[in-house]
A and B are shown apart, each in its own frame.
Chain A
Amino acid sequence: MSFSPELVGQVENLWTRYPEKKAALIPAMHLIQKERDGWFSNETIVDTAELFGVPDMHVRGIVGFYDMFHATPVGRHVVRLCKTLTCKLCGAGELIKHVSTKYGVKNGETTADGRFTFKLFECLGHCTTAPMMLVDEEKHESLDIEALDGVLEGLK
C-alpha cells in the first residue's frame, strides 16, 4: 500500500531540511503513524523502509525504541498518563487505579469499545501542574478523578 500524496509531499519537504534523508525518519514516522491508524503494522514498517531506502528492521528498531510509536493496534485515542515522581506524589497512583477499575484497562491496554488505549508514560514535563495526561495531542493538567472522568468520558 502506498502513502497518500499529501504525506509523501510532507516527507519530501522534511528531506530538504537535512543533508541525509534518514534524519527525517522520526519526524516522518509521526506523520505515517497518524495516517496508518496510529500504529506500525509490518506492512507500514516495510512501506516506511521503502520510502526512506533503509532496511525494514531499522524502522522496526525505531518503533521498538521510542515510546510514542506503537507496534500493536491502538484505540481511537491514545491516553498517556504520567506516572513519574511528581505526578505520583500528587496522586497519579489513584488515577491509575481508577482507570483500571472504571475503564477496565491497564498500561498498554485498549478499552473493549476501542475508544482509547491507555499508556503510562514516564515524566511528561508538566510537573508544576501534576498530575497530568496527554490525550492524543491535548494536555490535561492538575487532574483529579472527576476531571479525568470528564475527559475520558467525553472521548468519542
Chain B
Amino acid sequence: MTRETRVMLEYADDPAQKTLEGYRENGGYQALEKALREMSPDQVTAEVETSGLRGRGGAGFPTGRKWRFVPKTDKPKYLAVNADESEPGTCKDRQIMERDPHQLIEGSLLSCYAFGAKTAYIYVRGEYPHSIKALEDAIDEARAANLLGDKILGTDFCCDVWVHPGAGAYICGEETALLTSLEGNRGYPRIRPPFPAVEGLWHCPTIVNNVETIACVTHIIKRGGEWFSKLGCEGSTGTRLFCVSGHVKRPGVYEFECGKFTLRELIEGFCGGTLSGRPLKGVMPGGSSMPVLRADELDVTFDIESVQKAGSSLGSGAIMVFDDSVGAVGAAVNIAEFYSHESCGQCTPCREGSDWVRRMLLQFAAQDARDGDLDLLMDVTDKMDGTTICALAEALVWPVQSFVRKFRSEFEAAVRESAVGTATQ
C-alpha cells in the first residue's frame, strides 16, 4: 500500500509554518537547543551516521561519512547548502524552502555545529525568487531571535546563514561548480582531488549538502538517528521527497518511505495512472539524467538499491511519467537540448560532444538520419562517458543511450529509407 509518511512536509500545509512563531509552536528549534546544550559536535555527527542518512541531491553519499572528511584544521570551514535544484523534473527542495524554511535553517546550524563551520551559504537557483524571499524572511526572523549570529541561544556557538542566489545555470548544482560560482565566477566544475570537504570555498574545508539532506538533519537530531533509521528500508532510510510529474492523474511532491512499494504501485495506484488513460510508455525515475524505464520494467521496489539493480537510479527523486503519445526520439531530443544548453563548455568531450549528440538526435527527429547514424550516436556518447571533469556529460549520455536501447525501433524507423543521398555523395 502506497501512502505518504510526512516528516519534512508534516506541517507544510500550514501557512503559519513559514513564520518563526508557527515553526516553534510545532517544536521548531528544539533540535538546535538540544544539540547546543546537550550534545558535542561529534555526537551530532554520530547521530547522523546512526540515521543512515544519504545525500538527497542524487548521488546518495552517506552524509555522516562526508562530514568526517573535514580535516582538523584552523582554517575556517563552510557549509554550502545546494539549493540549485535544477534537475529536470525536480521541485522538492522548493517545498521545504517555501513552505517550511526554518527546518532548513535549523538543519544548517546543526550541520555547521557538527563539523565546525561558522558560516553556511544556501545557494538557491536564481529562478526561485519565492524560495529566496521565504528563506531571507526566515533568516531575518531567526537572527532577530538570536537563533543565528553570535552566541546562539546564549551558548558559545556562533554561526551565520546566508542566502546566495544563483543566476540560471544548471551546472551550478554540481557541487564543485556551485563553489566556483559562489566565489563569484562562471560556474565551472573543478577537477578532483582536492575534494570540497578538504578544499572547497576559498581553499577551506567545505561541505556541500542538498536542501533535503540538511532538512533531514533537523529531524534526526530532534527525534534521534535510531528513529530515522527505522523509517524506510536498509540503504534508503528515512523518508524522501519525490516529485511525480508528467502524464499522471495526480502529479505532486510526496514524501514516502522507500522500500514499501513498487514504482508501478506508485504511478498506477497512488498517482492514479496516466492522465489520458492511454497506456503508460515509460518513466524516468530519478530526474532526466537517469536511464528511462519502460512500462514493463516498473515492478521494481522503490528504493536506492532496487532501482539501481533495475538499471536506473532514484537520483534527485524526480519521477517523470509519459504515456504512449510520446515519441522516444522527441523525448531524447528534449533531454539532449537541455544538457547541451547547460554544458559549461569547459572540457572537450562535453562541450563538443553534447552539441553533436543534440544535432544527431535532431536529425533523427527530422527523419533524416542515415544508415550507421545510430551506431555513431552510441559510439560518440560512449566516448563522452567517463572522460569528462564532471557528470554532466553522463547525465546526457545515460538517458539518451537508454532511450535508444529501450525504444530502438523508433530510432531505426527514423533512418531515411532511401540510400540515394549517401550514394551520390
Contacts and interface: CB of A to CB of B under 8 A. Distances in A.
Say whether A and B bind each other.
yes
Interface of A: 17, 19-20, 22-27, 29-30, 52, 54, 58, 61-62, 65-69, 80, 83-86, 88-90, 121-130, 134, 137, 139
18 contacts: A22-B183, A23-B183, A26-B167, A30-B126, A54-B184, A62-B186, A65-B169, A66-B126, A66-B168, A67-B169, A68-B168, A84-B334, A121-B127, A123-B338, A125-B125, A127-B320, A128-B243, A129-B251
B165 interface: yes
A129 to B, nearest CB: 8
The 9 closest A-B pairs by CB, nearest first: A67-B168, A66-B167, A22-B184, A127-B245, A68-B168, A25-B184, A137-B129, A65-B186, A123-B88
Given A30-B126, A123-B89, A89 B246 contact: yes
B185 A19 contact: no
A127 B130 contact: no
A124 B87 CA distance: 9
Contacts of B407: none
A23 B162 CA distance: 12
Q: Range of interface residues on chain B?
A: 35 or more
Interface hub of B127, B170, B246, B318 (most chain A Cβ within 10 A): B127
A127 B186 contact: no
Contacts of B128: 125
B245 A130 contact: yes
Contacts of B186: 61-62, 65
B247 A89 contact: yes
Contacts of A62: 167, 184-186
B88 A128 contact: no
Contact of B167 (A23, A29, A86): A29
A89 B87 contact: no
B331 interface: yes
A90 B325 CA distance: 11
A125 B90 contact: yes
A122 B341 contact: yes
Contacts of A30: 126, 165, 167
A123 B87 contact: yes
Given A67-B169, A123-B88, A125-B127, A85 B243 contact: no
A52 B90 CA distance: 34
B239 interface: no
Contacts of B94: 125-126
Contacts of B288: 84-85
A86 B90 CA distance: 10
Nearest to B164: A27
A89 B91 contact: no
B338 A125 contact: no
Contacts of A19: 76, 202
Given A17-B162, A30-B165, A80-B127, A86 B88 contact: yes
A13 to B, nearest CB: 11
Interface hub of B91, B130, B165 (most chain A Cβ within 10 A): B91
Contacts of A129: 251
Nearest to B188: A65
Nearest to A121: B127
Interface hub of A22, A23, A61, A80 (most chain B Cβ within 10 A): A23
B412 to A, nearest CB: 23
